Structure 1
């Protein structure tokens, strides 16, 4: 069954989900952020079927999230690299990661940490702040349709 495109939706969350796709796509982007570039590397890391990986990579390239480049070793294979649009997903992945650490593991059970490369210290939780610096929650925000 083909999914309905949300590319024309008024909601930016819906359009973003339309571009990113499913969980496999976000996991591919995650792996690309940590240096994976080749089809076989993604397949080994994610353990997904070749046909599904092929489709997801093609969709991410079509969405402008990944680009294909010649192999760095001069081989016949292409490699996948994040575009700026793809790298801009980093805070989204960090937010998902931090939510997962808080809600999907018993306290202290997550063994994988995201560290600041320069100081080798854990990254602080993301915060949403108002223009004046106030910390915001969902109750402190609203949406408005612009004309």
Structure 2
């Protein structure tokens, strides 16, 4: 995928580049809602409550960066948005943020939405593991910086 020319916060860091692309509040909520079936400008606006001008900007940016694509609605009277492969690849990121939020952004017993599989079972906790199955954390990994 060709990334449109932009100024990167930290050009050699994949986390920084990712945050530059989708790290603001509204972009991630648009991606979240696209994963949950939102397709039209109106649907995104109603689900998020985002101002129309900000939503227009985020949809334009997410499309320009290859996370969403526009398709014709069946009626042919308007355009709809659809996740690209790159946009769908954000699913584990959204799940990880959701699970972090469930653990740290709600008081004990406070009600919140639940993400379930097709059978209605809540998703298991995501765990990053080494090839041998050993759980990985920030204490047993390191970043190898480029020169």
> Is the TM value for this pair above 0.5?
yes
1:7 CA drift (Å): 6.8
Match of 2:48 in 1: 46
Match of 1:69 in 2: 71
Which stretch shows the higher mean deviation, 108-117 or 38-47? 108-117
Match of 1:19 in 2: 21
Determine if the alignment matches structure 1 residue 128 to structure 2 residue 136: no
Query: Partners in 2 of 1:146 and 1:8 — Cα distance?
Result: 12
1:8 CA drift (Å): 6.4
Determine if the alignment matches structure 1 residue 89 to structure 2 residue 90: yes
CA contact (8 A) 1:36 1:42 kept: yes
**Could you give the per-residue CA deviations for residues 5-54 of structure 1, whole angstroms, max 9, x where no partner exists?**
31761000011111214110000000000110000111111111111000
Determine if the alignment matches structure 1 residue 35 to structure 2 residue 51: no
CA contact (8 A) 1:101 1:110 kept: no
Tell me: higher relative CO, structure 1 or 2? Use CA pairs within 8 A at least 6 residues apart: 2
Match of 2:62 in 1: 60
- Give the unaligned 5+ runs of structure 1: none
Determine if the alignment matches structure 1 residue 6 to structure 2 residue 8: yes
Match of 1:139 in 2: 139
CA contact (8 A) 2:12 2:146 kept: no
- Give the unaligned 5+ runs of structure 2: 1-5
Query: Partners in 1 of 2:9 and 2:40 — Cα distance?
Result: 28
Let me know the Cα RMSD of the aligned residues.
1.6
Query: Partners in 1 of 2:9 and 2:107 — Cα distance?
Result: 37
